[in-house]
């Protein structure tokens, strides 16, 4: 299957990207995409350099300018990737009142550390980091309220994989119960890994739990990385079967294919 909606990318309105929204749109059109969602980071962990960085008013001005410029060529959706919404209920409530098309929930910080920090690994070890991370992820999906769960097994981008994902069945069950879609994040393929985030095995488990809706995201922070790994992800979805790729517009899921 050909995938033409990239629902996870970052622009200059994220603390870790300097890419103008116009550049993302231009690249997406050149690649033949039909839909993109610009999902900039919203972070409230006070010790992080991304703390309270996002500027929604300036962001929406840039989104509207891009929509006018690329009208008829590309559907441009507004969105955010909100880190740990279950921990920041008041901030999350404020953002939920803004008319984004798409809101992703994710986990980046556990036990006071970003997942990639060596101090976290030194303190807890590989198994301990996964335990901390997936316990937080379970709390995240139980609280719910967002449209898609971003990069389910995110730590494997930074530390060795483990055979058993803690709390996985509970997390997948809560996704289905709370009507939250699951992201297939292809950034791992760009970084030299041989599987998406999450893996085909986890996607099959999600399907077995009754999950169907998935969004595809490159997690690009540069225009050149948009839609990387989508061909492989499309082939994987063909093999797995039973999953429905799509995107969110005005917080409603729209089937892509």
- Domain layout of the chain by residue ranges: 5-255
Cα gap 108→198, rounded to integer Å = 15
Per the CB < 8 A criterion, the answer to whether 47 and 112 are in contact is yes
According to the model, what pLDDT value does residue 51 have? 83
Q: Is the peptide bond before 170 cis (omega within 30 degrees of 0)?
A: no
Give the tens place of pLDDT for each residue, 89-106.
Answer: 999 999 999 999 999 999
Report the run of H or E that residue 118 belongs to, with start and end: helix 118-143
The answer on pLDDT for 75 being more than 70 is yes
Per-residue pLDDT band at 189 (split at 50, 70, 90)? very high
Would you state the pLDDT for residue 206? Answer: 98
Which residues on adjacent β-strands are paired with residue 5?
A: 35
The residue that leads in pLDDT, 237 or 164, is: 237
In this prediction, residue 118 carries a pLDDT of 83
Residue 15, CB half-sphere, CA atoms under 13 Å: how many? 14
For the stretch 204-215, pLDDT in tens is 999 999 999 999
Total residues found in the chain within this entry: 257
- Mean of per-residue pLDDT scores for the chain: 95
Task: Please indicate whether residue 147 or residue 45 has the higher confidence score (pLDDT).
Answer: 147
Query: pTM here?
Result: 0.95
Instruction: Give the tens place of pLDDT for each residue, 11-41.
Output: 999 999 999 999 999 999 999 999 999 999 9
DSSP three-state, residue 174: helix
- Maximum mean pLDDT: which of 40-54, 98-112, 153-167, 172-186: 172-186
- With beta carbons less than 8 A apart as the criterion, state whether 154 and 133 touch: yes
Question: Which CATH fold topology does 5-255 show?
Answer: TIM Barrel (3.20.20)
Residue 193 CA, chain-centre distance (Å), reads 17
Tell me the C-alpha distance between 115 and 199, whole Å: 19
Residues 6+ apart with CB under 8 A from 114: 48, 108, 120
Query: Per-residue DSSP letters for 56-108?
Result: HHHHHHHHHHHHHHTTTT-EEEEEEEEE-TTT-HHHHHHHHTS--SEEEEE--
Which of the pair, 191 or 63, is modelled with greater confidence?
63
pLDDT at 63: 99
**For residues 120-143, average pLDDT:** 93
d(CA 28, CA 8): 12
Looking at residue 114, its pLDDT comes to: 83
CA distance 147 to 150: 10
Residue 120: pLDDT band (50, 70, 90) is confident
Q: Which two tokens stand for residue 224?
A: 């050149």
pLDDT of residue 257: 66
Proportion of the chain above pLDDT 70, given as a percent? 100
State yes or no: pLDDT of 252 exceeds 90. Answer: yes
Complete DSSP assignment for 199-248 = -HHHHHHHHHTT--EEEEE--BSSGGGTTTTHHHHHHHHHHH-S-EEEEE
Interacting residues of 204 by C-beta distance below 8 A, sequence separation 6+: 240
Q: Which two tokens stand for residue 33?
A: 């995409």
């Amino acid at each position: 299957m050909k995938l033409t909606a990239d629902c996870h990318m970052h622009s200059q309105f994220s603390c870790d990207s300097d890419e103008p929204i116009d550049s993302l749109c231009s690249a997406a059109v050149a690649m033949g995409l039909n839909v993109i969602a610009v999902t900039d980071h919203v972070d409230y962990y006070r010790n992080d350099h991304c703390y309270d960085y996002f500027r929604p008013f300036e962001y929406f001005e840039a989104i509207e300018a891009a929509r006018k410029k690329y009208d008829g060529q590309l559907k441009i959706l507004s969105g955010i990737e909100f880190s740990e919404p279950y921990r920041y209920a008041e901030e999350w409530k404020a953002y939920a009142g803004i008319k984004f098309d798409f809101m992703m929930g994710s986990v980046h910080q556990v036990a006071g550390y970003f997942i990639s920090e060596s101090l976290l690994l030194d303190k807890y070890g590989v198994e301990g980091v996964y335990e901390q991370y997936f316990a937080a992820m379970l709390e995240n999906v139980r609280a719910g309220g967002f449209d898609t769960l971003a990069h389910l097994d995110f730590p494997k981008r930074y530390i060795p994989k483990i055979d058993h994902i803690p709390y996985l069945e509970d997390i997948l069950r809560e996704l289905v119960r709370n009507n939250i879609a699951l992201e297939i994040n292809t950034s791992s393929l760009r970084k030299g890994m041989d599987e998406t985030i999450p893996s085909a095995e986890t996607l099959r488990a999600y399907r077995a739990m009754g999950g169907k809706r998935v969004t595809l995201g490159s997690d690009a922070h540069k225009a050149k990385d948009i839609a990387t790994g989508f061909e492989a992800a499309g082939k994987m979805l063909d093999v797995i079967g039973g999953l429905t790729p799509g995107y969110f517009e005005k917080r409603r899921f729209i089937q892509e294919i």
